[in-house]
């Protein structure tokens, strides 16, 4: 049976390894965008993160974790569908709206600084609500939150139907949606989102949760080195899709989704079998991973412009740039989590609790 050391982050209990994995996933995405910033703001010398493609898999790891954790949430305690949805939306929206408003203010002052690499004008209302739209998102990383919101809505719907058969119902439903998307390949962005193969990563997390809650899988922690090897091979140009014949629609699922599932399986299984003591900093980065995810592009972009404006790119190597930006992103996220995200989440949860009494 799954036994986890309680780590309270907004009312949810995680295994320590899962929390570390959340931090690692966020850092993968940070490194992905640091590679873009290095080319834009760094020196013309050696590009350390040039072609760092595997960082995008951080999103896939987050999605698998989301599916797993939601099963853990309903297993640990009885919770009504309404309260579940309130808790999930309060976890996503208030913190997101802070960075949404910051980006809007920047856009009002200097529109060219916001999502300059994306074409089109942002749809501010859709971005505010995290609803898919044809324009670029105001907060560039928010497209993933649209999937999260949809997942939470579907999860809530099936909580009304059956808790006992929740896992097979959700997995079947998402599989059906993805199959429809593969067959019909809708042109509508909304329908494309609602039938995207990424939904199967939530399903994989649900399946892992359902299995690991009741039993251990012997040797499952060995999935960690296998996943790391797959990521290394991908970065080197050897992709799983060269072995697994899937269409272009399912490429990401094969190359990133499979290693992501293996990592979640491995880290949780490791915690089930051993008392792992992870470095406190790794746990703290995991705690602040949502803030790190939302804030890092703002930090990198603003700092990169200053770095270039002061001519530091002409006298310092890109290695200094990368390390400096990374430290700045982590420190700012840790501070924002402690003094902004946590107090805000506490306030919102208390307000919701009072309003429901």
Three-state SS across 293-320? HHHHHHHHHHHHHHHHHCCHHHCCCHHH
Question: How many CA atoms lie less than 13 Å away from 109 in the CB half-sphere?
Answer: 6
Give the rounded percent of residues in the chain with a pLDDT score beyond 90.
Answer: 67
Q: In the prediction, which pLDDT does 4 show?
A: 44
* pLDDT confidence of residue 194: 94
Averaged pLDDT for residues 271-287:
91
Confidence of residue 255 (pLDDT cuts 50, 70, 90): very high
What pLDDT is stored for residue 13 in this prediction?
45
- Kindly state the percentage of the chain with pLDDT values over 70: 93
Residue 11 has a pLDDT of 34
Sign, CA torsion 62/336/116/147: positive
8-state DSSP, 249: G
More reliable by pLDDT, 73 or 150? 150
Closest CA to 9 of 298, 20, 297: 20
User: Do 200 and 260 contact (CB within 8 A), yes or no?
Assistant: no
Q: Tell me: the pLDDT tens digits for 16-38?
A: 899 999 999 999 999 999 999 99
Cα(12)–Cα(17) distance, rounded to whole angstroms?
14
Calculate mean pLDDT across residues 205-213: 92
Is 271's pLDDT higher than 80?
A: yes
Closest residue by Cα to residue 74 from 160, 182, 199: 160
Tokens linked to 192: 């494309």
User: Taking phi first (over 0 means left), then psi (-120 to 50 degrees means alpha), and beta for anything else, what does residue 311 get?
Assistant: left
pLDDT on residue 52 = 94
Q: What is the pLDDT of residue 10?
A: 35
Average pLDDT, the chain: 89
pLDDT-derived band at 356 (thresholds 50, 70, 90) equals low
Residue 140 confidence (pLDDT) above 50: yes
Among residues 311, 308, 322, which one has the least CA distance to residue 46? 322
pLDDT reported for residue 119 = 63
Q: What per-residue confidence (pLDDT) applies to 8?
A: 37
pTM of the model: 0.93
pLDDT score of 248 more than 60: yes
In this predicted model, what pLDDT tens digit does every residue of 96-138 receive, in sequence order?
999 999 999 988 888 777 766 666 677 899 999 999 887 788 9
Q: According to the model, what pLDDT value does residue 14 have?
A: 58
**pLDDT class of 76 with cuts at 50, 70, 90:** low
Calculate mean pLDDT across residues 201-215.
Answer: 91
Question: Mean pLDDT throughout 58-82?
Answer: 90
148 C-beta neighbours (distance < 10 Å), count: 18
Three-state SS across 184-232? HCCCCHHHHHHCCCCHHHHHHHHHHHHHHCCCCCCCHHHHHHHHHHHHH
pLDDT at 12 over 50: no
d(CA 151, CA 170): 10
How high is the pLDDT of residue 116? 62
Which pLDDT does position 115 carry in this prediction?
Answer: 67
Residue 3 has pLDDT above 60, yes or no: no
Residue 119 three-state SS: coil
Summarize pLDDT for 217-247 with one digit per residue, the tens: 888 989 999 999 999 999 999 988 888 877 7
Across the range 193-215, mean pLDDT stands at 93
Of residues 268 and 122, more confidently modeled = 268
Instruction: For the chain, report the end-to-end CA distance as a whole number of angstroms.
Output: 35
pLDDT class of 75 with cuts at 50, 70, 90: confident
> Average pLDDT for residues 192-197, to the nearest whole number?
94
């Amino acid at each position: 049976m799954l036994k986890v050391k309680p780590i309270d982050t907004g009312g949810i209990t995680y295994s320590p390894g899962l929390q570390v994995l959340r931090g690692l996933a966020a850092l993968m995405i940070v490194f992905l965008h640091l590679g873009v910033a290095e080319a834009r703001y760094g020196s013309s010398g050696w590009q350390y993160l040039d072609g760092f493609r595997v960082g995008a898999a951080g999103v896939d790891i987050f999605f698998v974790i989301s599916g797993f954790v939601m099963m853990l949430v309903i297993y640990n305690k009885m919770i009504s569908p309404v309260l579940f949805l309130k808790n999930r939306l309060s976890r996503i929206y208030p913190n997101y709206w802070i960075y949404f408003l910051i980006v809007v203010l920047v856009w009002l002052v200097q529109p060219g600084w916001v999502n300059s690499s994306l074409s089109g004008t942002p749809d501010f209302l859709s971005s505010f609500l995290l609803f898919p739209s044809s324009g670029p998102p105001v907060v560039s990383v928010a497209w993933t939150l649209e999937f999260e919101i949809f997942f939470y809505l579907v999860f809530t719907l099936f909580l009304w139907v059956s808790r006992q058969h929740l896992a097979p119902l959700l997995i079947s439903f998402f599989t059906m949606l993805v199959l429809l998307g593969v067959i019909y390949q809708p042109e509508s962005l909304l329908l494309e989102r609602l039938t995207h193969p990424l939904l199967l990563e939530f399903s994989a997390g649900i399946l892992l949760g359902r299995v690991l809650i009741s039993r251990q899988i012997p040797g499952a922690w060995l999935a960690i080195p296998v996943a790391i090897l797959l990521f290394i091979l991908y970065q080197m140009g050897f992709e799983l899709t060269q072995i697994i014949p899937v269409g272009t629609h399912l490429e990401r699922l094969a190359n990133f989704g499979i290693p992501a599932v293996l990592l979640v399986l491995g880290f949780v299984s490791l915690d089930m079998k051993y008392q792992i003591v992870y470095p406190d900093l790794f746990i703290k980065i995991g705690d602040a991973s949502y803030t790190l995810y939302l804030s890092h592009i703002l930090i990198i972009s603003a700092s990169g412009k200053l770095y270039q404006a002061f001519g530091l790119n002409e006298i310092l190597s890109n290695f200094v740039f990368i390390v400096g930006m990374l430290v700045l992103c982590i420190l700012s996220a840790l501070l924002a989590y402690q003094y902004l995200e946590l107090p805000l989440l506490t306030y919102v949860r208390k307000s919701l609790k009072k309003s429901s009494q």
